[in-house]
Structure 1
Amino acid sequence: MSESYKTHSDGLYFVSFSVVGWMDVFVRREYQDILVESIAFCQKNKGLQLFYYCIMPSHVHFITASENGNLSDILRDFKSFTAKKVMDAIEENPLESRKEWLIHQFEYFARISPQKQERQFWKHDNHPFYLNSNRMIQQKIDYIHDNPVEAGFVNEPHEWRLSSANENSPIKTDDAPLRFHY
């Protein structure tokens, strides 16, 4: 993993990653569920600590850390696994009306990427942002929770199903460290 994607062992990070071409893939529950299940797996088996999050149609935001100091590895594995699972689900979904177009786009973005792969799902130009002050943490929490409101999907942050602002979201969060001492 390049040095710009590495994380410190004890840090809290704001992480965003988006689907290539900002394509709205996570509008279907089937694809959302792949992310939900993968997050739960990483929390249970890999030491992912997830404090705040929002899954939007084309991208994901986390405020996260790692119990084991290997956040970079967890995120790499999460993105690799979910990319394959979501692309397979799209290809196998007989009800996916955008199937050919989506697959074509994944292949196109892989061709123009410097990495050699057949298809590309997640953009490569994102990296964890170290949160080193309470002000910065609060700013990112507000940004994450306001994202679906700003996009016009809901009127209030708690109305978005896949957000830590919604207490009924299927994704469980770790006890949020409300304030940090630096």
Structure 2
Amino acid sequence: MSEKYKFNNPEGIYFVTCTIVYWIDLFTRKEYNHIIIDTLKKYQEKRNLIIHAFCIMPSHLHLIISSKDSNESLGGIMRDFKKLSNKKILEEISNINESRKEWLLRAFQNAGKKLKRIKSNKMWQDGNRPIELDNNFLLQQKLDYIHNNPVESEIVEEAVDYKYSSAKEYAGIRKGLLEIELLC
């Protein structure tokens, strides 16, 4: 089994990406973005998750994370985060006036029905491709990548203008949506 994309160092800082199945642009509604934010906050409080940087893009989530507790597995935290956010977003799809409701639920049901371990709908792709940021060059590269992702996608002109990102914290403009432990 490959060791390339695993949380091998319990004290490490990792870049991870969580992607919606079929690269569906799910995070175009504030309700879903706020579920991601609230779920991450819960894991910061209850599971010792440290968030160094984040960016919620329409079809995926980028994070730079570590843990306050080396006994708390980042792999376990990410697994549980995806499971809980999957459940909450599926509930929200049914509760709000979602124009794509039937289509989204059908896509998530199709993604889940092929797997024995999934009992209903699967929103997230498997894995999160953790990359340990074990040197300053790699750390700065991933930090820049995360914050410039909305600029490269032409969602905003300046990284600090994107609401669902930690770019403003790094620019010293404001405290944002999540508690961020700055890296530099």
Q: CA RMSD in A?
A: 1.7
| Contact 1:162–1:171 (Cα < 8 Å) also in 2 | no
Per-residue deviation, 1:132: 1.3
| Contact 1:7–1:72 (Cα < 8 Å) also in 2 | no
Instruction: Read off the aligned partner of 2:63 and give its amino acid letter.
Output: F
Alignment of 1:138-157 (within 5 A): 138-157=140-159
Instruction: Read off the aligned partner of 1:75 and give its amino acid letter.
Output: M
Provide structure 2 residue ranges, at least 5 long, that are not aligned to the other structure.
Answer: none
Distance 1:166 1:21 in 2: 30
Report the TM-score when normalising by structure 1. 0.90
Per-residue deviation, 1:25: 1.1
Provide structure 1 residue ranges, at least 5 long, that are not aligned to the other structure.
Answer: none
Per-residue deviation, 1:101: 0.1
After TM superposition, the runs of 4+ consecutive aligned structure 1 residues lying more than 2 A away are 2-7, 111-117, 166-169
| Contact 1:83–1:122 (Cα < 8 Å) also in 2 | yes
Per-residue deviation, 1:107: 0.8
Distance 1:86 1:113 in 2: 20
| Contact 1:7–1:128 (Cα < 8 Å) also in 2 | no
Query: Partner residue of 1:134?
Result: 136
Query: Partner residue of 1:78?
Result: 81
Query: Partner residue of 2:177?
Result: 170
| Contact 1:10–1:65 (Cα < 8 Å) also in 2 | yes
Report the TM-score when normalising by structure 2. 0.89
Percent same amino acid at aligned positions?
Answer: 37
Q: Figure out how many residues of one structure are paired with residues of the other and give that number.
A: 175
Query: Partner residue of 2:120?
Result: 118
Instruction: Read off the aligned partner of 2:56 and give its amino acid letter.
Output: I
